[in-house]
Chain A
Amino acid sequence: MATGISNQRRGDALGWLVGKTVTQPGNVEVALSTADPGDAAASLAEVGGGVGYTAQAITASTGWGTVSASAGSPSTVANAALMTFGTVTGGGWGALTHVGLFTGTASRTAANFHSRYAITGGPITPNVGATVSIAIGALVLSMTFT
Protein backbone atom coordinates (compact mmCIF):
# COMPACT_ATOMS: atom_id res chain seq x y z
CA MET A 1 0.00 0.00 0.00
CA ALA A 2 1.27 3.42 -0.80
CA THR A 3 -0.25 5.82 1.68
CA GLY A 4 0.21 9.49 1.00
CA ILE A 5 -0.13 9.13 -2.74
CA SER A 6 -2.93 11.25 -4.17
CA ASN A 7 -6.07 9.89 -5.79
CA GLN A 8 -4.81 10.99 -9.19
CA ARG A 9 -1.42 9.30 -8.93
CA ARG A 10 -2.80 6.05 -7.53
CA GLY A 11 -5.03 5.83 -10.56
CA ASP A 12 -2.14 6.70 -12.86
CA ALA A 13 0.05 3.98 -11.34
CA LEU A 14 -2.59 1.31 -11.75
CA GLY A 15 -3.34 2.48 -15.26
CA TRP A 16 0.32 2.28 -16.18
CA LEU A 17 0.58 -1.23 -14.77
CA VAL A 18 -2.16 -2.46 -17.08
CA GLY A 19 -1.00 -0.61 -20.16
CA LYS A 20 -3.33 2.38 -20.15
CA THR A 21 -2.13 5.63 -21.63
CA VAL A 22 -0.90 7.70 -18.71
CA THR A 23 0.69 11.12 -18.89
CA GLN A 24 4.01 11.05 -17.10
CA PRO A 25 4.13 13.79 -14.47
CA GLY A 26 7.43 15.40 -15.42
CA ASN A 27 8.98 17.78 -12.91
CA VAL A 28 7.81 17.75 -9.31
CA GLU A 29 7.29 20.77 -7.10
CA VAL A 30 7.56 20.52 -3.32
CA ALA A 31 5.31 22.77 -1.24
CA LEU A 32 4.90 23.42 2.49
CA SER A 33 1.40 23.60 3.94
CA THR A 34 -0.20 24.68 7.19
CA ALA A 35 -3.08 22.22 6.71
CA ASP A 36 -3.57 18.66 5.53
CA PRO A 37 -4.13 18.89 1.76
CA GLY A 38 -6.25 15.74 1.79
CA ASP A 39 -6.23 13.20 -1.04
CA ALA A 40 -7.04 15.79 -3.70
CA ALA A 41 -5.23 18.92 -2.45
CA ALA A 42 -8.60 20.52 -1.70
CA SER A 43 -7.49 21.80 1.70
CA LEU A 44 -3.91 22.73 0.86
CA ALA A 45 -2.81 25.88 2.70
CA GLU A 46 0.55 26.63 1.15
CA VAL A 47 2.79 29.25 2.70
CA GLY A 48 2.00 32.57 1.05
CA GLY A 49 4.12 35.13 -0.74
CA GLY A 50 6.14 37.96 0.73
CA VAL A 51 7.55 35.94 3.63
CA GLY A 52 10.66 34.54 1.97
CA TYR A 53 9.12 31.26 0.82
CA THR A 54 9.56 29.61 -2.57
CA ALA A 55 8.30 26.14 -3.44
CA GLN A 56 11.08 23.88 -4.67
CA ALA A 57 11.22 22.09 -8.01
CA ILE A 58 12.69 18.66 -8.62
CA THR A 59 13.67 18.22 -12.25
CA ALA A 60 12.56 14.86 -13.58
CA SER A 61 15.72 14.16 -15.56
CA THR A 62 18.33 15.14 -12.97
CA GLY A 63 16.64 15.78 -9.63
CA TRP A 64 16.17 12.20 -8.50
CA GLY A 65 18.60 9.45 -7.58
CA THR A 66 18.44 5.87 -8.75
CA VAL A 67 15.20 3.99 -8.22
CA SER A 68 15.90 0.98 -6.04
CA ALA A 69 14.00 -2.23 -6.53
CA SER A 70 14.97 -5.41 -4.72
CA ALA A 71 13.21 -8.36 -3.19
CA GLY A 72 12.10 -7.91 0.38
CA SER A 73 12.52 -4.14 0.41
CA PRO A 74 10.30 -1.28 -0.68
CA SER A 75 11.18 0.36 -3.97
CA THR A 76 12.46 3.84 -3.25
CA VAL A 77 13.77 6.95 -4.93
CA ALA A 78 15.16 10.09 -3.28
CA ASN A 79 15.97 13.68 -4.23
CA ALA A 80 19.45 14.25 -5.60
CA ALA A 81 19.82 17.94 -4.84
CA LEU A 82 19.50 20.25 -1.85
CA MET A 83 16.20 22.14 -1.74
CA THR A 84 16.00 25.42 0.20
CA PHE A 85 12.58 27.00 0.60
CA GLY A 86 14.07 30.25 1.81
CA THR A 87 14.60 32.27 4.96
CA VAL A 88 11.51 33.17 6.97
CA THR A 89 10.70 36.87 6.86
CA GLY A 90 7.82 39.21 7.63
CA GLY A 91 4.89 37.62 9.39
CA GLY A 92 6.38 34.16 9.23
CA TRP A 93 5.26 30.95 7.56
CA GLY A 94 2.75 29.82 10.17
CA ALA A 95 2.53 26.37 11.72
CA LEU A 96 3.64 23.87 9.10
CA THR A 97 1.84 20.53 9.19
CA HIS A 98 2.43 18.94 5.78
CA VAL A 99 4.72 18.68 2.80
CA GLY A 100 2.91 18.33 -0.51
CA LEU A 101 4.30 17.20 -3.85
CA PHE A 102 2.80 18.42 -7.09
CA THR A 103 3.62 17.66 -10.66
CA GLY A 104 4.12 20.32 -13.28
CA THR A 105 4.94 23.80 -12.12
CA ALA A 106 2.97 26.06 -9.83
CA SER A 107 -0.43 24.54 -10.45
CA ARG A 108 -2.01 23.18 -7.28
CA THR A 109 -4.93 21.24 -8.71
CA ALA A 110 -6.09 17.75 -7.82
CA ALA A 111 -4.89 16.59 -11.23
CA ASN A 112 -1.37 17.78 -10.40
CA PHE A 113 -1.33 16.53 -6.83
CA HIS A 114 1.26 13.83 -6.26
CA SER A 115 1.50 13.00 -2.56
CA ARG A 116 1.51 14.42 0.96
CA TYR A 117 3.58 13.94 4.08
CA ALA A 118 2.47 14.81 7.61
CA ILE A 119 4.99 16.30 10.03
CA THR A 120 5.20 13.93 12.98
CA GLY A 121 4.87 15.27 16.48
CA GLY A 122 2.70 18.21 15.54
CA PRO A 123 3.21 21.36 13.52
CA ILE A 124 6.46 23.27 13.43
CA THR A 125 6.66 27.05 13.29
CA PRO A 126 9.99 28.27 11.92
CA ASN A 127 11.12 31.51 13.51
CA VAL A 128 11.72 34.63 11.47
CA GLY A 129 15.31 34.38 10.28
CA ALA A 130 15.29 30.59 10.08
CA THR A 131 15.99 28.75 6.83
CA VAL A 132 13.98 25.66 5.88
CA SER A 133 15.47 23.05 3.59
CA ILE A 134 15.48 19.41 2.52
CA ALA A 135 18.92 17.82 2.28
CA ILE A 136 20.03 15.51 -0.51
CA GLY A 137 18.40 12.12 0.01
CA ALA A 138 15.97 13.44 2.63
CA LEU A 139 12.86 13.23 0.46
CA VAL A 140 12.18 9.55 -0.12
CA LEU A 141 9.28 8.11 -2.07
CA SER A 142 8.64 4.45 -1.49
CA MET A 143 6.25 1.85 -2.76
CA THR A 144 5.53 -1.53 -1.30
CA PHE A 145 3.16 -4.17 -2.51
CA THR A 146 2.21 -6.79 0.03
Chain B
Amino acid sequence: MSEPTKHFTEEQVKAAAASGGYVVLTVTEADGTVNEYLATAAAEPPAEKED
Protein backbone atom coordinates (compact mmCIF):
# COMPACT_ATOMS: atom_id res chain seq x y z
CA MET B 1 0.00 0.00 0.00
CA SER B 2 1.37 3.43 -0.95
CA GLU B 3 1.53 6.57 1.18
CA PRO B 4 -1.82 8.34 1.03
CA THR B 5 -2.26 11.43 -1.09
CA LYS B 6 -4.14 14.00 0.97
CA HIS B 7 -6.47 16.22 -1.04
CA PHE B 8 -6.64 18.82 1.70
CA THR B 9 -4.39 20.83 3.98
CA GLU B 10 -3.84 20.65 7.72
CA GLU B 11 -5.21 24.19 7.91
CA GLN B 12 -8.49 22.96 6.44
CA VAL B 13 -8.62 20.20 9.04
CA LYS B 14 -8.01 22.64 11.88
CA ALA B 15 -10.68 24.98 10.58
CA ALA B 16 -13.15 22.12 10.25
CA ALA B 17 -12.40 20.90 13.77
CA ALA B 18 -13.33 24.34 15.05
CA SER B 19 -16.62 24.53 13.18
CA GLY B 20 -18.69 21.41 13.45
CA GLY B 21 -16.22 18.65 12.74
CA TYR B 22 -15.04 16.65 9.77
CA VAL B 23 -14.64 13.24 8.18
CA VAL B 24 -11.58 12.00 6.30
CA LEU B 25 -12.59 9.44 3.69
CA THR B 26 -9.90 7.03 2.59
CA VAL B 27 -10.18 5.55 -0.91
CA THR B 28 -7.83 2.65 -1.56
CA GLU B 29 -7.66 1.68 -5.21
CA ALA B 30 -7.22 -1.90 -6.36
CA ASP B 31 -3.58 -1.16 -7.24
CA GLY B 32 -2.87 0.04 -3.70
CA THR B 33 -3.02 3.77 -4.42
CA VAL B 34 -4.51 5.60 -1.45
CA ASN B 35 -6.27 8.95 -1.60
CA GLU B 36 -7.73 10.84 1.35
CA TYR B 37 -10.53 13.38 1.07
CA LEU B 38 -11.88 15.81 3.64
CA ALA B 39 -15.58 16.28 4.29
CA THR B 40 -16.57 19.16 6.54
CA ALA B 41 -19.70 20.13 8.38
CA ALA B 42 -21.88 21.66 5.70
CA ALA B 43 -22.25 25.36 6.20
CA GLU B 44 -25.72 26.73 6.27
CA PRO B 45 -26.60 29.11 3.46
CA PRO B 46 -26.36 32.77 4.39
CA ALA B 47 -29.58 34.52 5.23
CA GLU B 48 -31.04 36.50 2.37
CA LYS B 49 -30.60 40.23 2.69
CA GLU B 50 -33.67 42.35 2.94
CA ASP B 51 -33.92 45.50 0.90
Interface residues of A (CB under 8 A from B): 1-5, 30, 36, 39, 74, 76, 96, 98-99, 115-121, 124, 126-127, 129-135, 138-144
Q: Which of B15-29 contact A (CB under 8 A)?
A: 16-29
Q: Does B7 have its Cβ within 8 Å of any Cβ on chain A?
A: yes
- A30 proximity list for chain B (CB < 8 A): 23
Check if A4 sits within 8 Å of B7, measured CB to CB.
no
Other CB < 8 Å A-B pairs besides A3-B43, A139-B21, 5 of them? Answer: A5-B20, A116-B41, A124-B27, A132-B28, A140-B16
Check if B40 sits within 8 Å of A2, measured CB to CB.
no
* In the complex, per-residue mask of B1-20: 1 if CB is within 8 Å of any chain A CB, else 0: 00000011000100011111
* In the complex, per-residue mask of B24-43: 1 if CB is within 8 Å of any chain A CB, else 0: 11111110000101111111
- B40 proximity list for chain A (CB < 8 A): 4, 117-118, 120
Check if B12 sits within 8 Å of A130, measured CB to CB.
no
- B41 proximity list for chain A (CB < 8 A): 2-5, 115-118
Check if B25 sits within 8 Å of A124, measured CB to CB.
yes
Check if B37 sits within 8 Å of A120, measured CB to CB.
yes
- Distance of B42 from chain A, by nearest CB (Å): 4
A4, A74, A115, A142: which has the most chain B beta carbons within 10 Å? A4
Check if A119 sits within 8 Å of B38, measured CB to CB.
yes
- B17 proximity list for chain A (CB < 8 A): 74, 76, 140, 142
Q: Does B51 have its Cβ within 8 Å of any Cβ on chain A?
A: no
- Give the CA-CA distance A5 to B16 in the complex, in Å: 13
Select from chain A the residue with minimum beta-carbon distance to B4: A135
- Distance of B23 from chain A, by nearest CB (Å): 5
- Distance of B8 from chain A, by nearest CB (Å): 6
Q: Does B48 have its Cβ within 8 Å of any Cβ on chain A?
A: no
On whether A99 and B38 interact (CB within 8 A), knowing A121-B7, A121-B8, A140-B17, the answer reads no
